[in-house]
Amino acid sequence: MKTPIKVFSDWVRSGKDEGMKNNHFKPVMKMIELFENKYENPSIIDAGCGNGWLIRHFYENKKYTNLTGVDGSNDMIAKAKTLDHENNYICSELDLWKPDNKVDVVISMEVIYYFKNPEIIIKHIFNNWIKKNGVFIMGIDFYLENEKCHDWKEKTGVDTMELFSSEVWINFFEESGFKNVNKYFFNQGKEWKGTLVVEGFKF
């Protein structure tokens, strides 16, 4: 079994990271719809940005200009920087890093369950990353109700993948201080429960 950072660094070297955009594009576009009409040119952090595909999407298609991608994998960040010379990419463990300036939106896709105690990183984001009236939008496919995902830990060889129900994730957000916490299931299929998306606001 390998750490999540080691697994995803291996993905970069094998080119498997190129599939991240294809696999996540549809639910992430729905996640963007949750906030894009609430803020004008929002400042955004992509938590666990991988090779930076979403930051590039924001810059090229939404024309947002205050964009930061953060990831724990040196290889992912190095690739992001080779593909994008306009935006900010930082290699750091998410639970250790603090931005110089808080932002309107933190978005994260398929990342937070790789933390042994995800409630700690959610509280860290609430306290240190998000402005007043900002929002945290988290998307995950690995959760209890989505039975098709339950064997992913064994399949991927990742040593840390925390499996919780959607209600537990809601509780993590609320206990961290987020208000108006909502959940959605995007991109559902016949045997696929969909991407669980949780949003919470900081008032």
Rounded to an integer, what distance in angstroms lies between the CA atom of residue 18 and that of residue 38? 30
Is 19 a domain residue?
A: no
- Average pLDDT, integer, range 106-121: 97
Residue the block writes with tokens 């996540």: 24
pLDDT at position 6, please?
87
Is 159 a domain residue?
A: yes
* Residues paired with 140 in a beta bridge: 196
- Average pLDDT, integer, range 108-123: 97
Is 193 a domain residue?
A: yes
pLDDT digits (tens, 9 = 90+) for 3-33: 988 877 888 788 877 767 888 999 999 999 9
Provide the CATH number for the domain around residue 64.
Answer: 3.40.50.150
Is 108 a domain residue?
A: yes
Element of type H or E holding 27: helix 19-33
**Token reading at 180:** 């108006």
- Is residue 141 classed as helix, strand or coil in its secondary structure? coil
**Which 8-state DSSP code applies to residue 49?**
-
- Is residue 202 classed as helix, strand or coil in its secondary structure? strand
Is 76 a domain residue?
A: yes
Rounded to an integer, what distance in angstroms lies between the CA atom of residue 109 and that of residue 58? 15
Residue the block writes with tokens 């959607």: 166
Is 99 a domain residue?
A: yes
Number of domains observed in the structure of the chain? 1
Is 100 a domain residue?
A: yes
Is 38 a domain residue?
A: no
pLDDT at position 19, please?
66
Q: What pTM, to 2 d.p., does this model score? A: 0.96
- Domain span at 157: 43-202
